Every structure is written in structure tokens, then in C-alpha cells.
């Protein structure tokens, strides 16, 4: 029996999609997943995944009828100790995802930039002169 567990911690509440940071990371991860899949593939069997949490127990059954279906449950309690037990003879892929939000501070300051273009087309040169005056300040 093989068990594959991923723990993803998203650092930014705006980023809810898990992703790799570079093309090389993606290639290495896909190679590892392909190798993993070839080693643990089994055409038959079933497994039961049980998650024990402070608020109770969640049970997921993985069998030939639903082995390709995505099953998800939201855990009620964030604090406490969790345990994961897999029994059976089929491969089960388990992903644990923790998302959190840090509220935006009430005294938010923003950076503003003011751009003032000035053109001088009257010079002796055949080329016009363009000057951009930038002014930045915090609101």
C-alpha cells in the first residue's frame, strides 16, 4: 500500500491555486508523479481513508467505481491533532490544504505617482524634446 500526501500552505490569501514556482520545478514534479504512478498502479482493490479530528471522524471510501473521482470534506476545527489512517489494497492520493487570511490593516497607505509630460518642439534640433516629470507620494 502506498500513500501520497501533499501539504500545501498558501502564504497569501489571494493565491488559492497551488502552483510550482518555475518551469524546472514543474518538470521535476511531473516526473516524480509519473514515476510514483507507475510504481503504485493497481487495476483492482479498494481502500478506506479515515481522518480523525478533534470534532469527529471523516471517512472516504476509494473503490473501482469512484477511484478517479475527487472527494473533499472541509474540516471544522483548525486547532488540535489530526490523524490519517488508510486501510486496504488500493492506492489513495490525499491532499491536505490549509488556507488562512490576514485582514488588511485599517490604516492603509498607497503610493501614488503623478506624471507630467512636457514637449519642446521649438528647439534648433530637428528632434522634439520630451521631458517626463514624475512625482511620487504616499496617500
Whole-number Å distance between alpha carbons of 96 and 118: 56
Q: Domain range spanning residue 79? A: 3-98
In the predicted structure, residue 18 carries a pLDDT above the cut 70: no
The C-alpha cell 490593516 sits at 105
Q: What is the domain count for the chain?
A: 1
Give the other-Cβ count within 10 Å of 62's Cβ.
Answer: 22
Q: Is residue 111 part of a domain?
A: no
The per-residue pLDDT of the chain, averaged, comes to 76
Whole-number Å distance between alpha carbons of 62 and 131: 67
The C-alpha cell 504512478 sits at 37
Q: Which of 34-38, 99-103, 124-128 has the lowest mean pLDDT?
A: 124-128
> pTM for the whole thing?
0.47
Q: Is residue 34 part of a domain?
A: yes
Whole-number Å distance between alpha carbons of 94 and 86: 10
Q: Is residue 67 part of a domain?
A: yes
Amino acid at each position: 500500500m502506498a500513500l501520497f500526501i501533499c501539504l500545501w500552505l498558501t502564504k497569501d490569501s489571494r493565491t488559492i491555486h497551488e502552483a510550482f514556482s518555475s518551469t524546472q520545478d514543474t518538470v521535476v514534479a511531473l516526473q516524480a508523479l509519473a514515476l510514483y504512478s507507475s510504481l503504485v498502479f493497481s487495476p483492482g482493490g479498494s481502500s478506506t481513508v479515515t481522518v480523525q479530528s478533534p470534532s469527529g471522524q471523516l471517512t472516504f471510501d476509494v473503490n473501482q467505481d469512484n477511484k478517479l473521482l475527487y472527494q473533499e470534506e472541509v474540516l471544522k476545527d483548525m486547532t488540535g491533532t489530526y490523524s490519517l489512517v488508510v486501510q486496504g489494497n488500493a492506492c489513495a492520493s490525499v491532499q491536505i490544504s490549509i488556507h488562512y487570511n490576514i485582514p488588511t490593516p485599517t490604516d492603509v497607505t498607497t503610493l501614488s505617482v503623478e506624471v507630467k509630460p512636457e514637449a519642446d518642439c521649438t528647439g534648433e534640433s530637428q528632434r522634439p524634446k520630451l521631458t517626463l516629470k514624475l512625482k511620487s507620494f504616499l496617500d
